[in-house]
Amino acid sequence: MRRTLTMAVVAAALLVPGGPLPLAEAGSVAAPVTVGRWSAREAQSFWTAERMASAAPLPPVPPELVDPAPPELPEPPEPAEPAEPAQPAEPAESAEPAESAEPAEEIPVATPTPVVTGLPVPSATPAATPTPTPTPTPTPTRAPSAPAPAPLPAPARPAVPRLPALTPGIGLNFDGIPVAGRMYLVKGGGAYFCTASVVSSPGRNLVLTAAHCLLGSDTQQVAFVPQYTRAKPQPYGMFPVLRDAGGRSKIWIDPRYRSQGVDRAAALDVAFAQVGPDTRGFPVETVVGGNRLVTGAGYAHARVTLIGYPASAARPRVCINRTTKFTSADARIPGSFLRINCTGYPGGTSGGPFVTRYDARTGTGDVVGVIGGWKTGGDKADTSYSSPFGADIRKLYEKAVAGAKARR
């Protein structure tokens, strides 16, 4: 969020003159991204408790920034199928179906007679020569292997801490809820974080945050940690934001937000990211649950639960209040936004969810916004904003769902 007073203090404390942010070990710097795996084990090895604790809220994004990353989502396009080479005319019944995704494996036979049963068809023999009795084709067998280990039982649904007694508009630090956490990333050699939350999806592997948190081709080593607190840095493990074949994090941001910048496209300050499983192989939503994405619900909500990770606080913050519609009068930042008054939401809370119909039993609800949008969430710690969740956000979510189904 564009909350410069807190940001300046934190940045001054963490940056080394003429060098990058010090991380876990003295003098160490963030390792450059490499093309290859970025699994939960590698994420945990990189994001140690010390490194997470020393991470700073993401600095304000310059309004004029145009993201140098490709404007399209990072999911690599499927390669076009090669055209079939010209072949001599074949009998009509031997033509391959046009919709086959891959050419059928050819079985070497003496003649081009189509194989119907999967067994070789013997060639014709002269009448004077006795027809040999065909030798039955042995059924392929596989060497015996050790029995597959029994699948791990699904993790028990986490206990959801009770929210503190809340007065509308007054934020309080608390122990957090499993569905929300910190999103860690490396940018320009520094370690930073925003807030993120799990959103329900068919693949059970999507998290939601603000687009300005994940802009830039130098955004690397991205990982989501549910319910982070300094006392319990990984109560439910760590979930790495996966990379595509080119080494780019699998993040979905509206191309207009990348190309127009954080002010001109403030109404699109939303991002989805695909996270891999934890070290046991479980997807994030299976472990901690997920909020339901709701779009088209408008701007005014009678009761919203707002969660974020403020600056250098050791725990997250929660607040309840109503939201109202705010329409910008600044031509440089066009659009209308959800606005909520909640005290104590400085830098670091960007991406924090606006949740309606919060269920204290499951710790989930309907997510109708994230801290971002107007001035990337607001320039005052006691008033926060969200881009509207309308048709554009629904389309972006559907694109992320489709992309997250693709093979890694």
Q: Rounded to whole angstroms, how far apart are CA atoms 269 and 199? A: 16
Position 119 scores a pLDDT of: 36
User: Considering only CA atoms, which of 123, 132, 6 is closest in space to residue 58?
Assistant: 6
User: Considering only CA atoms, which of 350, 406, 408 is closest in space to residue 379?
Assistant: 350
Position 133 scores a pLDDT of: 53
Position 156 scores a pLDDT of: 72
Query: Could you list the pLDDT tens digit for every one of the 408 residues in the chain?
Result: 454 434 433 443 333 233 333 333 322 334 444 445 799 999 999 999 999 999 999 887 776 666 665 545 444 444 444 444 444 444 443 333 333 334 433 334 333 333 333 333 334 344 444 555 555 544 444 444 445 445 556 677 778 989 999 999 999 999 999 999 999 999 988 999 999 999 999 999 999 999 999 998 889 999 999 999 999 999 999 999 999 888 889 999 999 999 999 999 999 999 999 999 999 999 999 999 999 999 999 999 999 999 999 998 999 999 999 999 999 999 999 999 999 999 999 999 999 999 999 999 999 999 999 999 999 999 999 999 999 999 999 999 999 999 998 554
Position 122 scores a pLDDT of: 39
Q: Rounded to whole angstroms, how far apart are CA atoms 156 and 286? A: 9
Q: The pTM is what? A: 0.74
Position 22 scores a pLDDT of: 37
DSSP for 310-329 reads -TT-SS-EEEEEEEEEEE--
b/e map 333-372, b = 16+ CB within 10 Å:
bebebbbbbbebbbbbbbbbbbbbebeeebbbbbbbbbbb
Tokens 């780019």 appear where? 248
Q: Rounded to whole angstroms, how far apart are CA atoms 343 and 79? A: 50
Position 136 scores a pLDDT of: 52
Position 286 scores a pLDDT of: 96
Position 253 scores a pLDDT of: 97
Q: Rounded to whole angstroms, how far apart are CA atoms 233 and 49? A: 6
Position 42 scores a pLDDT of: 95
Position 78 scores a pLDDT of: 43
